[in-house]
């Protein structure tokens, strides 16, 4: 190994932990002193309409914990508030570092930002290195035999599993390396949420490194049951780790190592979900234009509903007042917690695009603003799947029936009752389509449709027929 360069800066973004961390590992391997920084980036914060955005509370709590963890290791987190494209080069210059290390972020905005930072650093004679950390396989590491990106999940997943080697899952340790963590002699306190222009919001999920470890330890005990329970929102069947994967409070290598080492159906199914995450990441990396356009360009010609009624329908969907109990319960879960169960995400996305006939981007943008785990690649992938405009999507003629989905995945109505108290007295057989109750039943159950719970905003059978026509017209226009 060559001589150690003097010092480096590690720029934390969506990797808010101090263990098994590629950028920290590489920086400590090749530099004597390593500083750490996080920027509350105004280019992102200024775009957030909600000053009580839960993500800020989650990130703020997580970086406070990261700072404590780094201090225990002899370092500290330098926290800046400003445009990262200016703050990082300025800080690098102030600290006199030879290089800035970060973990790669593949979203189009992040790639543009990192290009700008890399250019500004380059002009100062400072190197910029972006390491793979968020994914097991990034960019074009998994290609078909013909050298093309996969657009169908099953062959991608097969190739991904075939490519997987023990070395891909090895931790990137931060101990036992030549460099040491360093802190500037005087360091201002981490700015408060108020100083950043935000208010604190309750986050139901435990946050930070300790929150991630708590959820992960709990899920390891349940993983064997995942395949059996994951589709039922009333059950505790899933891991609840998505926000932690989004903000990198735990390492994907650790999760895959554990899941791949378990020989049961639950762990195998869960590993597939982690592979879906990578599948959508590579799709977005290869096709960044899908941020706003259909993966299959022919679907951009679809004439989605617009006008006053469409806007009313959209407002009812956002508020959880469509009159379809499971759809409403799901939207209220999102409003209450910033998270929604995967089965429900599929159901409400299908309802928005196929029952209300609204452009998937309207729903996608609403989720982007609400979800604690919002991740452009997975969210876009999920929406385009439901809208049938995406890669490996639900075929357009297969349309979820929101009543049948409710009967199947919340048979007792327990999830519905948790989030739609208006329906608390409605028994299981009626709860999935309460408008079908007789006036006597409505009176007896305390739920009078049109009075204390809305009538359905659309009739599913009629909406389904309209959607089939909408897609068929497109086919005829070909
Ligand atoms: P688990 O079931 O425990 O799965 C473990 C992890 O696998 C998740 O944390 C996630 O990282 C990954 N994963 C699971 N399912 C998928 C999937 N279908 N696609 C990609 N990755 C997956 N996931 C997000 O992380 N961010 C989003 O913004 C997002 N938006 C979605 C929008 C729609 C319309 C749909 C249908 C799905 C979306 N998903 C999104 C995928 C999925 O719903 C969530 O990852 C999951 O519900 C998170 O809960 P969990 O961590 O308990 O999941």
CA 471/CA 299 separation, integer angstroms: 8
The verdict on whether 342 is a catalytic residue reads yes
| Cα 415 to Cα 55, 204, 226, 326, 330, distances in angstroms | 25, 17, 18, 8, 9
> pLDDT at residue 478 above 70?
no
Q: Mean pLDDT across the stretch 414-432? A: 98
Listed in sequence order, the residues at least 6 apart from 230 whose beta carbon sits closer than 8 Å to its beta carbon are 237, 238, 269, 270, 342, 343
Mean pLDDT of 298-309: 96
| pLDDT beyond 60 at 190 | yes
Dump pLDDT digits (tens) for 308-321: 999 999 999 999 99
Q: What is the mean pLDDT of residues 65-86?
A: 98
Find the helix or strand (DSSP H, E) in which 37 lies: strand 31-41
Q: Residue 17: name the closest of 253, 195, 219 by CA.
A: 253
- Say if CB 379 and CB 369 are below 8 A apart: no
Q: For residue 372, what pLDDT is reported? A: 98
**Active-site annotation holds for 360:** yes
Spatial separation of the C-alpha atoms in residues 381 and 383, rounded to whole Å: 6
Lowest mean per-residue pLDDT among 200-209, 244-253, 342-351: 200-209
pLDDT at 411 over 90: yes
Q: Is the CB of 28 under 6 A from ligand 1?
A: no
55 lines ligand 1 (CB under 6 A): no
Residue 160 annotated as catalytic? no
Q: If you take atom 33 of ligand 1, which residue's CA is the nearest one?
A: 382
Q: If you measure from the C-alpha of residue 244 to the centroid of ligand 1, how many angstroms do you get, rounded to a whole number?
A: 12
Query: Are 28 and 178 spatial neighbours (Cβ–Cβ below 8 Å)?
Result: yes
pLDDT higher than 60, residue 293: yes
Structural tokens at position 454 = 């809305």
% of the chain beyond a pLDDT of 90: 96
- pLDDT for position 260: 97
Residue with tokens 């290195």: 129
Neighbours of 291 (CB within 10 A): 15
Maximum distance among all Cα pairs of the chain, rounded to whole angstroms: 84
Q: How many residues does the chain have?
A: 478
Return the residue whose CA atom lies nearest to atom 17 of ligand 1. 276
pLDDT of residue 232: 98
To the nearest whole number, what is the mean pLDDT of the chain? 97
1 has a pLDDT exceeding 50 = no
Query: Which numbered atom of ligand 1 lies nearest the CA of 383?
Result: 34
Distance CA(369)–CA(382), nearest Å, equals 15
| Span 362-409, pLDDT tens digits | 999 999 999 999 999 999 999 999 999 999 888 999 999 999 999 999
Q: Is 78 in the pocket of ligand 1 (CB under 6 A)?
A: no
Q: Is the pTM of this model over 0.90?
A: yes
Residue 276 is a catalytic residue: yes
The pLDDT of residue 4: 81
Whether 477 has a pLDDT exceeding 90, the answer reads: no
Q: Which of 107, 138, 254, 304 is catalytic?
A: 304
Secondary structure E strands in 68-227: 77-82, 99-103, 127-131, 180-181
Write the CA distances from 379 to 28, 235, 292, 346, 361, integer angstroms: 34, 23, 12, 11, 10
Q: What is the mean pLDDT of residues 312-341?
A: 98
pLDDT band at 2 (very low <50, low <70, confident <90, very high): low
In our burial notation (b when 16+ CB lie closer than 10 A, e otherwise), range 300-315 reads eebeebeeeebeebbe
Does ligand 1 come within 6 angstroms of the Cβ of 245? Answer: yes
């Amino acid at each position: 190994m060559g001589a150690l360069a003097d010092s480096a800066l590690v720029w934390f973004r969506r990797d808010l932990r101090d263990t098994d961390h590629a950028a920290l590992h590489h920086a400590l391997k090749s530099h004597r002193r390593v500083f750490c920084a996080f920027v509350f980036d105004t280019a992102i914060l200024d775009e957030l309409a909600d000053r009580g955005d839960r993500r800020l509370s989650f990130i703020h709590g997580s970086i406070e914990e990261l700072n404590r963890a780094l201090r225990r290791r002899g370092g500290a987190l330098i926290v800046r508030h400003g445009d990262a494209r200016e703050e990082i080069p300025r800080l690098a210059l102030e600290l006199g570092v030879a290089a800035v290390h970060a973990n790669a972020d593949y979203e189009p905005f992040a790639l543009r930002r990192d290009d700008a930072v890399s250019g500004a650093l380059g002009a100062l004679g400072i190197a910029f290195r972006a390491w793979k950390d968020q994914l097991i396989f990034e960019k074009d590491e998994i290609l078909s035999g013909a050298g093309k990106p996969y657009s169908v999940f099953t062959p991608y997943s097969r190739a991904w599993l075939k490519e997987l080697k023990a070395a891909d899952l090895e931790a990137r340790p931060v101990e036992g390396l030549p460099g040491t963590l360093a802190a500037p002699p005087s360091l201002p306190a981490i700015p408060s949420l108020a100083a950043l222009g935000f208010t604190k919001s309750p986050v139901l999920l435990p946050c930070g490194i300790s929150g991630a470890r708590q959820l992960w330890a709990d899920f390891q005990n349940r993983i064997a049951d995942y395949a059996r329970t994951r589709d039922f929102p009333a059950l505790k069947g899933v891991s609840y780790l998505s926000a932690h994967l989004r903000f990198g409070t735990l390492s994907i290598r650790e999760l895959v190592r554990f899941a791949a080492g378990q020989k049961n159906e639950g762990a195998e199914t869960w590993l597939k979900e982690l592979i879906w995450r990578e599948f959508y990441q590579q799709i977005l990396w290869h096709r960044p234009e899908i941020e706003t356009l259909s993966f299959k360009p022919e679907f951009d010609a679809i004439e989605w509903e617009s006008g006053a009624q469409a806007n009313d329908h959209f407002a009812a969907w956002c508020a959880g007042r469509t009159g379809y109990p499971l759809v409403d319960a799901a939207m209220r879960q999102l409003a209450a917690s910033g998270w929604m169960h995967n089965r429900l995400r599929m159901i409400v996305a299908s309802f928005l695009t196929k029952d209300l006939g609204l452009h998937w981007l309207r729903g996608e943008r609403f989720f982007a603003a609400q979800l604690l785990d919002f991740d452009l690649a997975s969210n876009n992938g999920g929406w385009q799947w439901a809208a049938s405009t995406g890669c490996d999507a639900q075929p357009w003629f297969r349309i979820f029936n929101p009543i049948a989905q409710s009967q199947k995945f919340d048979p007792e109505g327990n999830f519905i009752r948790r989030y739609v108290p208006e329906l608390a007295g409605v028994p299981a057989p009626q709860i999935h389509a309460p408008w079908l109750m007789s006036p006597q039943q409505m009176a007896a159950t305390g739920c009078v449709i049109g009075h204390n719970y809305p009538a359905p905003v659309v009739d599913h059978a009629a909406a389904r027929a309209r959607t089939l026509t909408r897609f068929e017209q497109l086919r005829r226009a070909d």
